[in-house]
Amino acid sequence: MRDEDAQYERPRRRTRPRTKDRPDYSDAVVAVVTTVDRGRYTLLFDEGTVVTAMKSRPLGRQGVVVGDEVRVVGDVSGQPGSLARIVEVRDRRTVLRRSADDDDPIERVVVANADQLVIVTALADPPPRPGLIDRCLVAAYDAGMDPAVCLTKVDLAPADEIVAQLEPLEVRTVTTRQDGDLEPLRDLLRDRTSVLIGHSGVGKSTLVNALVPDAHRTTSHVNEVTGRGRHTSTSAMILPLPFGGRIVDTPGFRSFGLAHVDIERILRAFADLNTAARDCPRGCTHLAGEPECALDVAAANGEIDPARLQSFRRIMASRSLADEY
Ligand SMILES: Nc1nc2c(ncn2[C@@H]2O[C@H](COP(=O)(O)OP(=O)(O)OP(=O)(O)O)[C@@H](O)[C@H]2O)c(=O)[nH]1
Ligand SMILES: [Zn+2]
């Protein structure tokens, strides 16, 4: 696990030291969980083997989610009918969570270890909802992931306004149009694991089909392996990209409560603001109207960019939007 990611671990789940009483899993192999369906896990090995597995008893109630890197023993041949056992979940580098809704503190992990959250928004039809983009940005920062925004249907409306709004936050943006050049989007996704999130109708399926020409076939292949229909499941699923990297499709990801979000964790994604906030009084929320927030002083002194502070406060305020994302 890399140092800079340590801050996103909560609580640190260390593998207990092995004793004589504990089995030795040193011959276990590492794979990535690509689907989760009622206690059955689809695993992908580096060399492309797809294996069905279940949790082993020592894991107890520890959750295993899509994106987890796990150690596996048993039958890892991937032959029909074979079943491997997950014996260990590696420390997660990033954790994308959601609460059922904003008032419900119970959080669910949507996906582990993804590098970036790509917010897919149409420029028109349906019209963009900037508040929803902001909420997704909050979720990405909270997860320890890099946010990015893919603006679709650029043939219908210009992107300038939204691009300008995202600029102080240094969020990467790409625009796409159906049958247009996808190279900028490929550059964004290449060699990284990206979660694509977007409302119905924004053109997400159009993009996925263009990026992964055999996406549908890959999906049915996994169905054969698990023996279960994908559409009965609302869990996320990982698709390898032919040009390198992976995308995580989140079919059931329609509501996006942010009750679990921790403002200090978000602030860490803004190194400049985080440094200035060291002078804040204890318990400062850093939001507009805080009487002694050091961020106001730093902005007035030119130590931090006022536009960036304003954007930070805007996205934090979006947490209380009464919207379904
Ligand atoms: N004008 C225009 N239309 C597009 C573009 N991309 C997709 N569409 C159209 O938008 C509609 C929705 O596209 P989908 O790819 O099905 O959208 P989706 O986000 O996957 O929606 P669901 O399948 O409902 O989740 C379709 O009629 C597409 O043909 C685009 O770049 N420009
Ligand atoms: Zn403050």
Q: What is the maximum alpha-carbon separation in the chain?
A: 67
What's the CA gap between 76 and 120, in Å, rounded?
Answer: 36
- Write down the pLDDT at residue 285: 92
| Substitution candidate for ligand 1 out of 151, 175, 178, 249 with most atoms within 8 A of CB | 178
Q: What value, to the nearest 5°, has the Cα angle with vertex 136 and ends 135 and 138?
A: 65
| Half-sphere exposure for 201 (CA within 13 Å, toward CB) | 6
Q: What confidence tens digit (pLDDT) does each residue in 88-118 have?
A: 999 999 999 877 666 666 667 889 999 999 9
Residue 286's SS3 state is coil
- Write down the pLDDT at residue 255: 61
Residues that constitute the known binding site for GTP: 152-155, 198-206
Residue 320's SS3 state is helix
- Write down the pLDDT at residue 37: 87
What spacing in Å lies between the alpha carbon of 87 and ligand 2's midpoint?
A: 44
Please list the ranges in the chain whose pLDDT falls under 70: 1-27, 100-107, 215-235, 251-255, 321-325
What spacing in Å lies between the alpha carbon of 166 and ligand 2's midpoint?
A: 22
ipTM value: 0.96
Query: What ligand has the least distance to the C-alpha of 284?
Result: 2
Check: CB of residue 261 under 8 Å from CB of residue 138.
Answer: yes
- Write down the pLDDT at residue 98: 79
Q: What confidence tens digit (pLDDT) does each residue in 38-58 have?
A: 889 999 998 888 999 999 988
The DSSP bridge partners found for residue 195 are 117, 248
- Write down the pLDDT at residue 119: 94
Question: Which residues have CB under 8 Å from 310's CB, separation 6+?
Answer: 168
- Write down the pLDDT at residue 247: 94
What's the CA gap between 33 and 128, in Å, rounded?
Answer: 33
244: left (phi over 0), alpha (psi -120 to 50) or beta: left
- Write down the pLDDT at residue 215: 62
Question: Which residues have CB under 8 Å from 280's CB, separation 6+?
Answer: 286, 290, 292, 293, 294, 295
> Which domains can be identified in the chain, with CATH numbers?
3-89 (2.40.50.140), 115-249 (3.40.50.300), 263-320 (1.10.40)
- Write down the pLDDT at residue 198: 87
Read off the DSSP letter of residue 164.
H
What protein residues have CB closer than 5 angstroms to ion ligand 2? 280, 284, 286, 293
- Write down the pLDDT at residue 323: 55
Its pTM stands at 0.84
Residue 16 — φ and ψ, nearest 5°? -65, 150
- Write down the pLDDT at residue 3: 41
Query: Please, what is the end-to-end C-alpha distance for the chain in angstroms?
Result: 31
- Write down the pLDDT at residue 275: 96
What's the CA gap between 28 and 90, in Å, rounded?
Answer: 12
Instruction: Work out whether strand 146-152 and strand 50-55 pair parallel, antiparallel, or are unpaired.
Output: unpaired
Read off the DSSP letter of residue 257.
B
What's the CA gap between 36 and 305, in Å, rounded?
Answer: 43
Q: What value, to the nearest 5°, has the Cα angle with vertex 123 and ends 122 and 126?
A: 55
Quote the radius of gyration of the chain (alpha carbons, Å). Answer: 21
